[in-house]
Amino acid sequence: MGARVVGIGGGSGSGKSTLAHALAARIPGASIVELDWYYRDLAHLSPPERAGWNFDHPDALDWELLREQLGKLTAGEPIAPPLYDFSTHTRLAACRAVAPAKLVVLEGILALHERALREAMDLSIFVAAAEPVRLARRLKRDVCERGRTPQSVRDQFAATVRPMHEAFVAPTEAHADLVADGEGDFAPAIERALAHLDGLARSRSA
């Protein structure tokens, strides 16, 4: 029997990663796969061209590689997702290692965008949070962790993050089995998710 897959989508800064790690912590040996690992390598573009790239559009992601590696992981094989340098928008030569597990949590703004991925999920969750909250969190993350300037983060949010959220991210809430409050306590959502997965396990073993 393959691994169970939980997909967690939602806007940038909504709390997806926090929920993913909190859920995975409740299931020993769970593996987390981040959609951000699968941004396309922009090494062939000049720095100004890279800076102007729309990272919030579905075309920015290498869906083929993600589908291939998620399939291997759920089949019990380890995978080596790319390491992505967000300061240069290029892939590094080294790769990370992700071991197979009974539960795989796929998280990212567009985790619920592709039908093929949704069909592979046992549970889909959308994390909802108001725009001011998401922007404040994105500012903190991108400045502290990705070497960005506050103004560049605000400019990008206005130019691509907000319109792409409205066009591609927000509509995926309709595909979610569960909507979690990204501004509150994740405990209720985690308990509901665990109950759902437990129910699946019981039905499969019956």
105 bridge partner residues: 6, 32
Q: Report the CATH number at residue 92.
A: 3.40.50.300
d(CA 105, CA 65): 17
d(CA 50, CA 41): 10
Main-chain phi, psi angles of 183, to 5 degrees: -105, 0
E-strand ranges in 123-181 read 123-128, 178-181
- 69 Cβ neighbours under 8 A, 6+ residues apart: 33, 79, 81
Q: Which domain holds residue 10?
A: 4-205
d(CA 132, CA 12): 11
pLDDT in tens, the chain (206 residues): 579 999 999 999 999 999 999 999 999 889 999 999 999 999 999 999 998 889 999 999 999 999 999 999 999 999 999 999 988 999 999 999 999 999 999 999 999 999 999 999 999 999 999 999 999 999 999 899 888 899 999 998 999 999 999 999 999 999 999 999 999 999 999 999 999 999 988 887 66
Residue by residue, DSSP assigns 7-49 as EEEESTTSSHHHHHHHHHHTSTT-EEEEGGGGBPP-TTS-HHH
d(CA 171, CA 186): 22
User: How many folded domains does the chain comprise?
Assistant: 1
Model-wide pTM > 0.75 = yes
Nearest to residue 81, comparing CAs of 122, 145, 5, 68?
68
